[in-house]
Amino acid sequence: MNSTELNMHTALETLPKSELHLHIEGSLEPELALELADRNGVSLPYDSLADLREQYQFTNLQSFLDLYYELMGTLKTADDFRDLALAYFKKVSAQGVKHAEIFFDPQVHVSNGLDVNMVMDGLLEGMHEAKARYGITSGLILSIVRDMPVDTAQSVLDSVKNRADDILGIGLDSAEVGYPPHLFTKQFEEATALGWHRVAHAGEEGPASYVIDALDNLHAERIDHGIHSVTDATLLERLASERIPLTTCPLSNRRLQVVGSLENLPLHNMMEQGVLINVNSDDPAYFGGYIADNYQALEGVGFTLSELSNMAENSITASFISDVERDALLQQLVSWKSRFASLLTA
């Protein structure tokens, strides 16, 4: 690695950023999954770490979800969820993350026989410890698993209303096609009444119409993925004019065959239309990289450091944080730009 490459690597790893599209269960590395399986007496059909790693070749979203949900079954105790969160925050503390808004999938954990309050307690403990250790602030987004029965989403929502202040927002994830956003209008309305923010996966494997559905019926403040918005010029104009951020995930899109190559991602196109793009890792243990790896992957296909720093700025401005916190993070970005001014103008 020459000096310029080293400087670029350092620049992207130290670039102050928020992570807004991270499934905490998707940060479960195979080593930790095997450790938890042993700890909790869970039998997995893999003979070794190498055998498990061989399963990480996906042909589509569903092939990933099958493994994702299987390994989630190794999470059994509050300590497991705390350890999961801390492992993620330790990793991204060296990748410039200053704030993270993380998804969790309570319906799956409840279906595995767990108490949603125990799950939340473990995650919140890990988030609290991460702030003390690494200075990273964070919030918890309850994600509805759209391909599970709607009544299970309602049940989970009802069960956590008494601790609404522990949750930052509501989200919508999992297998998209056949499960349009409007199916969950009631749950999003109730979450809004609780004071939660609203985000939704749309336009990843589903069409641009799902993004419109999420905006019109769920009143989503951010769209997770959203890359198929590029097929609808009117929608792109709306996203830009209403300043609706897209939390894109390059390595995820490539690994799940949403695009054939990173060069085919329509991010430049959407940015030219004024859409607010930011970069995230989605399920980093499964998709080959954490957040800085996603930034570096984009740099490798021609995105400039100036463009990438604009995406980081978008991640800060799109965060559900106070104005004081936002201003402090933006000031850190100003200092970073001063440090790497020569690379920004190269």
User: Hey, which residues are catalytic here?
Assistant: 204
Q: Residue 21 annotated as binding?
A: yes
Tell me which long-range contacts 32-38 makes (C-beta under 8 A, separation of at least 24): 32/83, 32/84, 32/87, 33/71, 33/74, 36/74, 36/75, 36/76, 36/80, 36/83, 37/74
- Residue corresponding to tokens 């309570």: 106
- Residue corresponding to tokens 């930052």: 168
Asked if 232 contacts 275 with a C-beta cutoff of 8 angstroms, the reply is: no
Q: Residue 80 annotated as binding?
A: no
Q: Residue 23 annotated as binding?
A: yes
DSSP string, 103-158: EE-HHHHHHTT--HHHHHHHHHHHHHHHHHHH--EEEEEEEEETTS-HHHHHHHHH
Other beta carbons less than 10 A from residue 51's beta carbon: 12
In whole angstroms, give the CA distance from residue 151 to residue 21.
25
Is the Cα torsion angle 202, 206, 208, 210 positive or negative in sign? negative
Strand order of the β-sheet with 246-248 is 17-23, 97-104, 137-145, 169-173, 197-202, 222-225, 246-248, 277-279
In whole angstroms, give the CA distance from residue 172 to residue 152.
13
Q: Residue 225 annotated as binding?
A: no
Asked if 126 contacts 85 with a C-beta cutoff of 8 angstroms, the reply is: yes
CA 96 to chain centre: 15
Asked if 146 contacts 172 with a C-beta cutoff of 8 angstroms, the reply is: yes
Q: Which residues belong to the annotated binding site for Zn(2+)?
A: 21, 23, 201, 282
Q: What residue numbers does the annotated binding site cover?
A: 21, 23, 201, 282-283
